Amino acid sequence: MRLALAVTACAAACGGRSASDAAIGGSDAPLARCATPAPGSTVTFRKIGRVGGSATLATSPPGDDRLFVLEQNGAIRIFDATGALLDAPFVDLSEDADGPVRCCGEMGLLGLAFHPQYATNGTFFVFYTTRIGGNPLRDVLARCRRSATDPNLADKASCVEVLSIPDFASNHNGGMIEFGKDGFLYISTGDGGGAGDPNRNGQALVDSGSSVALLGKMLRIDVDRKAPGKEYGIPADNPFAAGGGAPEIFIIGLRNVWRWSFDRETGDMWLADVGQDRYEEITALRPAQQRGANLGWSKFEGTTCFRPPDCATDGLVMPQDVRTHADGWLSVTGGQVYRGSCYADLVGWYFYTDYSKHGLSRARLNADDTLTVEDLPGTFPQVPSSLHEDAAGELYLTDTQGNVYHLEAGP
């Protein structure tokens, strides 16, 4: 990352608004809950509120009607079902609160995923950058639990590091984490930073010299079955579970997939990879295509060879949508397939944007694995940091100014 008019049938249930509220910056209103889908595919964003500092992600626990928003400095804030921002943070892991999270730039609190059984076990996971115990930095996955007495508070003392990755630079930290349908936790990591993947982490399968194998990857771990001496286990069908590479690796060749997501219906994985000097990439992988996929970095940027003469494409997965810096795309921001109940005409479309261009595009995965891509008209939020779903499948955009918007549609 280098630092996106509900009709009458849905107005009340989705937090109805006046025409003057339809544009960016409209008044705060309840979160979206729609018993009756509204027709139309003209997309707008309604502002539901703002948190302090930069907001990096909005998401929800399974079956929960609250919205949890990450602040880059290390706090997690809650909007309740009425759209009210609770005064106290769910948890504050910032350095100012004696927490481990080192902010800012591309560092900070970057990812949040609730355990599929969160309602009963209260377990959630966070991904952040820290200088504690690092030389100079570490990218950390930690496990935490909510308070036993207050569902709007987490027990900060419960947080335990699950996975720690040394990182030589402050940029390209990835950080998006999600559970798959298989119950395993997936973690995107950046190539570690610098320009041009100087340590060749993107294609490294084992630590060697300055290369760190767990950087520039999609990792996949089992958080429910711990291996001896670890806080996690390795799924038996991971590509290198039996050897030949770091067993946590699931996909290789990522530069900085700052934001990616699963389609909750199909299990398709959509990856938005931030480019180097020329290209931004969107790659969609069906479940059968994910295991061991190589997205090419740093042999390729987009579909163009980055390290001549090593230009063989054998075994590489090329992106289906490539955007150029010449066209204003400088830091692609994914992105989620809409599976909510409010806007029937949006179902099945993947929405994504760009931190610098801040337009809005949508794509659909075709039977031949190509994408149908449309750039949507309109004025959309600037400096977007994420576009992600809540528990109901509704999409929320966050930006680096702390704003949170609900994606809506009408005629």
Say what percent of the chain tops pLDDT 70: 93
- pLDDT given for residue 162 in this prediction: 98
**Mean pLDDT within 188-214:** 97
Q: Which residues contact 303 (CB under 8 A, 6 or more apart)?
A: 279, 318, 319, 322
**Mean pLDDT within 405-410:** 96
- pLDDT given for residue 32 in this prediction: 72
**Mean pLDDT within 153-180:** 97
pLDDT confidence bin for 298, thresholds 50/70/90 = very high
pLDDT at residue 388 greater than cutoff 80: yes
CA–CA distance, 173 with 186 (Å, rounded to integer) = 15
**Mean pLDDT within 312-333:** 97
Q: Does 327 map to a domain? A: yes
- pLDDT given for residue 15 in this prediction: 37
pLDDT at residue 323 greater than cutoff 50: yes
Q: Does 195 map to a domain? A: yes
- pLDDT given for residue 184 in this prediction: 98
Domain extent, residue 321, equals 8-410
pLDDT at residue 111 greater than cutoff 50: yes
Q: Does 42 map to a domain? A: yes
pLDDT at residue 299 greater than cutoff 80: yes
Greatest Cα pair distance in the chain: 62
Least confident segment among 20-24, 361-365, 389-393: 20-24
Beta bridge partners of 384: 399
Give the count of beta carbons closer than 10 Å to the beta carbon of residue 384.
28
- pLDDT given for residue 20 in this prediction: 31
- pLDDT given for residue 10 in this prediction: 35
Q: Does 102 map to a domain? A: yes
pLDDT confidence bin for 28, thresholds 50/70/90 = low
CATH number assigned to the domain comprising residue 32: 2.120.10.30
pLDDT at residue 2 greater than cutoff 90: no
pLDDT at residue 166 greater than cutoff 70: yes
Scored b (16 or more CB within 10 A) or e, 1-25 reads beebbbbeebeebbbebeeebeebe
- pLDDT given for residue 34 in this prediction: 80
Q: What is the pLDDT of residues 345-384, one digit of tens each?
A: 999 999 999 999 999 999 999 999 999 999 999 999 999 9
**Mean pLDDT within 310-333:** 97
Q: Does 3 map to a domain? A: no
- pLDDT given for residue 35 in this prediction: 73
**Mean pLDDT within 116-143:** 96
pLDDT at residue 7 greater than cutoff 60: no
Residue whose C-alpha is closest to residue 176's, from 391, 385, 395: 385
Total number of domains in the chain: 1
Q: Are 382 and 24 in contact (CB under 8 A)?
A: no
pLDDT confidence bin for 134, thresholds 50/70/90 = confident
- pLDDT given for residue 37 in this prediction: 86
pLDDT confidence bin for 288, thresholds 50/70/90 = very high
pLDDT at residue 122 greater than cutoff 60: yes
Q: Does 2 map to a domain? A: no
- pLDDT given for residue 3 in this prediction: 43
- pLDDT given for residue 102 in this prediction: 97
pLDDT confidence bin for 271, thresholds 50/70/90 = very high
pLDDT confidence bin for 29, thresholds 50/70/90 = low
pLDDT confidence bin for 182, thresholds 50/70/90 = very high
Sign of CA dihedral 95, 141, 225, 145: positive
Question: The whole model's pTM is what?
Answer: 0.93
- pLDDT given for residue 106 in this prediction: 96
